[in-house]
């Protein structure tokens, strides 16, 4: 089966074809306004003659199948995309079934079925880039409730000596406000990738990410956590995060799984195809959405 996969991001739209669990075609388009970007996406998938489409999108999204606005991107600050009927537009234009979930839920699903969490029904994917998001697969289902979880915005305690006020327009010092790529740039004045040789930057970053991860461990008891996204490409970060998580847990959760921290918190294993493969899985196995 030839399935289309769309990873809809705030800066780029990655369009791909997935067959038998392999990405066989892939292009990337800049995200502009819907009027400019949607026709390009539709043209691509129409030409590829896909039979169905899985979409992993930036949010927030309405994922309630009983809601009249299911499939909409809702309260995003991104120009033109606010209350935009993403899934509906694609469905009408392509006349094929469309499945939708968040980009991070799709990445969690992709890693669970094809990557670093194969065989696990309980895992979390965290992306640390411009913003922070977490996708949660729990008992083999992607978590939804009245909407999807928004773990990038959980409160964190300021680390002693850090006076940065945070960059989240809603909460200031939430996890995203203190540890996203935007926060790193705001606190230190230069982009994350230019601070690779400054240990104090990464130690502080690890302290905040660990707070988010500890909350996630306590809330969802995942069997593995994948740390991805542009900021997490810094190779020095992962060992610091593992150490900080162990310290912050303070022995309270001490299963054998958590004691083996090197295989508990891991890097993605799918070369940036994790969300696309998750889109494919949404179509192939709709039961994962409950």
In angstroms, what is the minimal distance from the CB of 30 to Zn ion? 26
- DSSP conformation letters of 171-235: TBSBHHHHHSHHHHHHHHSS-GGG-TT-HHHHHHHHHHHHHHHHHHHHHH--SEEEEESSGGG-T
Give 71 or 166: the residue with its C-beta nearer to Zn ion: 166
Distance CA 96, CA 256 (A): 45
In angstroms, what is the minimal distance from the CB of 181 to Zn ion? 14
In angstroms, what is the minimal distance from the CB of 283 to Zn ion? 31
Contact positions with Zn ion (CB under 5 A) in 19-58: none
In angstroms, what is the minimal distance from the CB of 150 to Zn ion? 8
Give 153 or 185: the residue with its C-beta nearer to Zn ion: 153
Which positions ≥6 away from 267 have C-beta within 8 Å? 116, 226, 227, 228, 232, 238
In angstroms, what is the minimal distance from the CB of 170 to Zn ion? 5
Stretch 103-142: interaction string toward Zn ion, x if CB under 5 A: ----------------------------------------
In angstroms, what is the minimal distance from the CB of 168 to Zn ion? 3
Give 106 or 168: the residue with its C-beta nearer to Zn ion: 168
Give 68 or 77: the residue with its C-beta nearer to Zn ion: 77
Give 54 or 133: the residue with its C-beta nearer to Zn ion: 133
Q: Give the angle subtended at the CA of 260 by the CAs of 256 and 266, to the nearest 5°.
A: 130
Give 174 or 183: the residue with its C-beta nearer to Zn ion: 174
Q: Which two structure tokens, joined as six digits, stand for 214?
A: 């500890």
Contact positions with Zn ion (CB under 5 A) in 149-208: 153, 168, 170-171, 174
Q: Is 259 helix (H, G, I), strand (E, B) or coil?
A: helix
Distance CA 285, CA 272 (A): 21
Contact positions with Zn ion (CB under 5 A) in 74-103: none
Q: Do 226 and 125 touch, CB atoms closer than 8 A?
A: yes
Give 4 or 131: the residue with its C-beta nearer to Zn ion: 131
Measure Cα distances from 205 to 42, 167, 192 in Å.
39, 14, 10
Interface with Zn ion: number of residues (CB under 5 A): 5
Q: Is 81 helix (H, G, I), strand (E, B) or coil?
A: coil
Distance CA 160, CA 145 (A): 35
Give 83 or 170: the residue with its C-beta nearer to Zn ion: 170
Give how far the C-alpha of residue 268 lies from the chain's centroid of Cα atoms, to the nearest Å. Answer: 11
Distance CA 13, CA 10 (A): 8
Only segment of 83-91, 133-141, 145-153, 266-274 that touches Zn ion (CB under 5 A):
145-153
In angstroms, what is the minimal distance from the CB of 103 to Zn ion? 17
Q: Which two structure tokens, joined as six digits, stand for 14?
A: 């990655």
In angstroms, what is the minimal distance from the CB of 175 to Zn ion? 7
Contact residues for Zn ion, defined by CB under 5 A: 153, 168, 170-171, 174
């Amino acid at each position: 089966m030839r399935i289309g996969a769309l990873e809809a991001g705030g800066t780029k739209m990655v369009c791909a074809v997935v067959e038998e669990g392999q990405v066989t075609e892939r292009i990337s388009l800049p995200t502009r306004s819907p009027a400019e970007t949607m026709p390009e996406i539709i043209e691509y998938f129409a030409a590829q003659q896909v039979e169905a489409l899985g979409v992993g999108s930036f949010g927030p999204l309405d994922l309630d199948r009983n809601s009249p606005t299911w499939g909409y991107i809702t309260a995003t600050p991104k120009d033109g995309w606010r209350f935009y009927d993403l899934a509906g537009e694609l469905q009408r234009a392509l006349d094929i079934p469309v499945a939708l979930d968040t980009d991070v839920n799709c990445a969690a699903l992709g890693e669970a079925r094809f990557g670093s969490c194969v065989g696990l029904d309980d895992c979390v994917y965290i992306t640390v880039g411009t913003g922070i998001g977490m996708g949660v697969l729990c008992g083999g289902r992607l978590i939804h409730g009245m909407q999807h979880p928004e773990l990038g915005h959980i409160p964190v305690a300021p680390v002693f000596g850090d006076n940065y006020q945070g960059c989240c327009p809603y909460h200031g010092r939430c996890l995203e406000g203190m540890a996203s790529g935007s926060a790193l740039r705001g606190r230190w004045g230069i982009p994350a990738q230019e601070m690779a040789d400054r240990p104090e930057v990464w130690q502080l970053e690890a302290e905040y990410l660990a707070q988010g991860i500890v909350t996630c461990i306590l809330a969802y008891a995942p069997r593995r956590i994948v740390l991805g996204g542009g900021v997490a490409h810094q190779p020095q970060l992962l060992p610091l995060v593992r150490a900080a998580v162990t310290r912050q847990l303070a022995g309270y959760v001490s299963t054998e799984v958590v004691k083996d921290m090197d295989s508990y918190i891991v890097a993605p294993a799918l070369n940036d195809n994790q969300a696309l493969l998750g889109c494919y899985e949404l179509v192939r196995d709709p039961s994962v959405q409950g």
